[in-house]
Amino acid sequence: MESTEEFTRIESIFVRHRNALMVRGQFTSIYTDHYLHLMEHGLRYPGELDQMLKDSLAMLTLHLVARPWAETIAWTVNLRAPRINLFVTGGSISESITGRIFTEDVREPDRNFFYAQSTTVQGSEPRLSTLEVEDRDPANWVSTYYLQSEQRPARVFRLDDEWFVLIAAQPDCDLEWLESLTIEKIESIETDEQTHLLETRRFRFHCGCTLEKILPILGGWRDRPDELFADSEMIRIQCPRCAASYQVTRDML
């Protein structure tokens, strides 16, 4: 049994009379596990990119709590400058969130694109969304996504001590109030407004990848190992979800 201290608690709160959903959480434990993961696998991202990834992990977690339990959601952002693919994914059923940044062999697009894919445990067709984003701020990506794909406005706020808050409009939302929100108003919202706790969910930074799960990716090379290994008896491959590194030898194929 895993200790609940490993998980981040995310609260879903209804703001009465404003008809808005507030989702919030403090992400220190997820960020700590993110850095432990980087250290374990010898990974290091430049400061700006690392912050973009951390912000995206937090914001996808909040979005997951604003969505039904059964969904697994993945976001991929393809940026021109810097030329990267940023990937985050998670789900409430697995109670996990993970992600990585691709910096090598990335196709340079003519614009910056945000891709969202959601699937359910029932195995229905994935829901896909593609939109253009203007900058490198994940908070603005989320607002744009909500307007275009969720068909409702939403805003994300970064607070002190690694707290993040998502405010999403519900039917008959007070949109003028939503637009007027500031960090100071968010911090005093439970004093100034009537709120009701709807539910809590928990998340941790966790991929669940193993060498056994990664090996099938190389199945197409089984009949031509010399092309894959060249003069080496061993290669390293990365998990496409979290960039964990695994050693693969010829006999493993």
Question: Could you tell me whether strands 96-102 and 195-205 are parallel, antiparallel, or unpaired per DSSP bridges?
Answer: parallel
Do 122 and 216 have their domain in common? no
Do 33 and 149 have their domain in common? yes
- The reported pLDDT for the residue numbered 3 is 42
What CATH number corresponds to the domain at position 29?
3.55.30.10
Do 91 and 39 have their domain in common? yes
Do 61 and 168 have their domain in common? yes
- The reported pLDDT for the residue numbered 1 is 38
Mean pLDDT by 10 residues, the chain (253 residues): 68 98 97 96 95 98 96 96 94 97 89 95 84 94 96 97 98 98 97 98 96 84 78 87 91 75
Whole-structure pTM value: 0.93
Do 220 and 113 have their domain in common? no
Do 120 and 243 have their domain in common? no
Counting beta carbons within 10 angstroms of the beta carbon of residue 247, is it exposed (0 to 12), middle (13 to 18) or buried (19 or more)?
A: exposed
Do 215 and 136 have their domain in common? no
How many other CB atoms are there within 10 angstroms of residue 22's CB atom? 25
Do 69 and 51 have their domain in common? yes
Region at 105 (left for phi over 0; alpha for psi -120 to 50; beta for the rest): left
| Alpha carbon distance 53, 253 (integer Å) | 33
Do 125 and 61 have their domain in common? yes
- Which position has the token pair 């068909």? 151
Do 183 and 222 have their domain in common? no
Domain extent for 124:
4-205
Strands of the chain (E only): list them: 8-15, 20-26, 71-79, 84-91, 96-102, 112-120, 127-133, 154-158, 163-169, 195-205, 234-238, 245-249
- The reported pLDDT for the residue numbered 235 is 87
Do 36 and 56 have their domain in common? yes
**Per-residue pLDDT tens over the stretch 169-226:** 999 999 999 999 999 999 999 999 999 999 999 999 999 999 999 888 887 777 787 7
Last residue in a domain, options 205, 222, 239? 205
Last residue in a domain, options 205, 220, 238? 205
How many other CB atoms are there within 10 angstroms of residue 129's CB atom? 14
Do 165 and 65 have their domain in common? yes
- The reported pLDDT for the residue numbered 244 is 95
Tally the domains of the chain.
2
Radius of gyration of the chain (CA): 20
